[in-house]
Amino acid sequence: MDIGHTFDAHAVTVAFSIALLAGVSTGLGGLLVALKSKPTNRFLAGSLGFSAGVMVYISLVELLPGGIDDLAEVYGGRASLYGVLAFFAGVLLIAVIDRLVPEAINPHEFPDERSRDRARSTMMRAGLLTGVAIAIHNFPEGFATFIAALGDPQLALPIAAAIAIHNIPEGIAVAVPLREATGKKWAAAGWATLSGLAEPLGAAIGFLVLMPFMGPATLGLSFAAVAGIMVFISFDKLLPSAIATGQHHHSVYGVVAGMALMAASLIALS
């Protein structure tokens, strides 16, 4: 991975724009709810599986090795050790965030029909808390997208697309209970969009914190940690949600297709 260690304003703007586009895709889920449309289970299973395939492949084949290459400029033979430690630190970070979100509002499953029978006050609370939970989850995803785009915008586009795809059902998870509680479908869609804006916020704060320390070591550790975050998201969020649709085979087909597309794109870019 050829990653520069100095970034001009244009590179930062492009990277932030990609993170922003990934984040606002949560609003597409809210839009689907507002329009009373619902994707088929096969489409959701395939799309979520595809996202997982993209993110796992790019994390293990490109981001982690690229991070270790950067670390080698500073740490030499210890680069692999530090890269692996950073990878699992990323896993631990997102796992801790995941555990801090109460089980009842953790957005791992699609909203089911039983939610329609709950009291409106319960629906309102569920929708708002789910929005907060998703925002917490989206924060490190925004940094992950941003740091990848900062290194290589072409490489970051499929990552952003993968995150955008899995943000759509998260938007649905926020909008459905709020629509049922308030009867205001467009307001519910707006709240879903707002929850996704944690991604560009994560990108901005992450960059401002790291900017004074940008260099081979910082970038290498960041890429390795981002790889861990993405792998955890794929195994903990994307695949379980895909399987929950009841379309197991389409989930697997999506994973393979995502990996194949990323392999082809990396070969084409090399």
In this structure, how many other beta carbons lie within 10 angstroms of the beta carbon of residue 103? 7
Annotate 48-86 with DSSP letters as a single string: HHHHHHHHHHHIIIIIHHHHHHHHHHHHGGGHHHHHHHH
Of the candidates 93, 206, 111, 109, the residue with the CA atom closest to the CA atom of residue 149: 206
Question: What span, in angstroms and rounded, lies between the C-alpha atoms of 247 and 48?
Answer: 11
113 is in an annotated binding site: no
103 is in an annotated binding site: no
Using only C-alpha atoms, what is the Rg of the chain? Answer: 18
Question: What span, in angstroms and rounded, lies between the C-alpha atoms of 239 and 255?
Answer: 9
170 is in an annotated binding site: yes
Give start and end residues of each alpha helix (H) in 76-115. 79-100
166 is in an annotated binding site: yes
CB 67 within 8 A of CB 220: yes
199 is in an annotated binding site: yes
CB 97 within 8 A of CB 140: yes
Residues near 46 by beta carbon (within 8 Å), at least 6 away in sequence: 242, 247, 250, 251, 253, 254, 257
Q: Which residue has the tokens 């392999």?
A: 263
41 is in an annotated binding site: no
Give start and end residues of each alpha helix (H) in the chain. 9-24, 26-34, 41-58, 64-75, 79-100, 120-151, 153-182, 185-196, 198-210, 216-233, 239-244, 248-269
Question: What span, in angstroms and rounded, lies between the C-alpha atoms of 42 and 253?
Answer: 11
Residue list, annotated binding site: 138, 141, 166-167, 170, 199
Residue list, annotated binding site for Fe(2+): 138, 141, 167, 170, 199
Residue list, annotated binding site for Zn(2+): 141, 166, 170
